Structure 1
Amino acid sequence: MSYSAGHHAVDQEDLPSLPGLLTAGQDVEDGNGDACTLPGHAIDIELDGHTQSGEPLHVDVTAYLLIRGVDPLRCCSDRCRSGCLHPPHLLIESNSVAMTA
């Protein structure tokens, strides 16, 4: 799969590079064709890291993307590797984070 620069930064949890990419025109809602949007990808990566390592869940990349104006309810592509319908569903299904209205 060919990721955009934004997806690559999210995949590497490279928060320092995201401001420059987004300022240079990277679409914060980038669906990258057959992958999740940037926030969906970020949630997937951050949750996966937490699940695999057992370390505390951190959401710094997701939080930054929310600050930059992503739609937190925007659907992922049907081909998202995590199978999510909406990014928040990853957190609800994980039982790792309690979501409140």
Structure 2
Amino acid sequence: MKKKLIILIIIISFNNLSGQITELEKELKKKNKDSLNGWSFNGLASINFSQTALINWASGGENSISGHGIFNINANYLKNKNSWDNSLDLMYGMFIEGKKKLKN
């Protein structure tokens, strides 16, 4: 019984939930599109850090620290028959293992 419940919870947790868009949200989206005169902008940024600390590790292994950032920016123009799509993707990461120097 517990296995079935756990499986059900896992399946439900992977489903996406979506709400309905209200009339006010539709009007705001139209106003935003009109005010930019054909331009739309969006982007995504993510910065992640991780650390591994090992104590009394008999078979090997070293402490490590890492971090990376991902940035995605889009600027698109659409008006009448003219369109122009721009995107910028940036990624950068660093890694330190043990007492070694920083690796990019």
Fold conserved between structures, TM > 0.5: no
Query: Higher relative CO (CA 8 A, sep ≥ 6), structure 1 or 2?
Result: 1
Structure 2 length-normalised TM: 0.17
Compare the two structures and name the one with the higher strand fraction.
Answer: 2
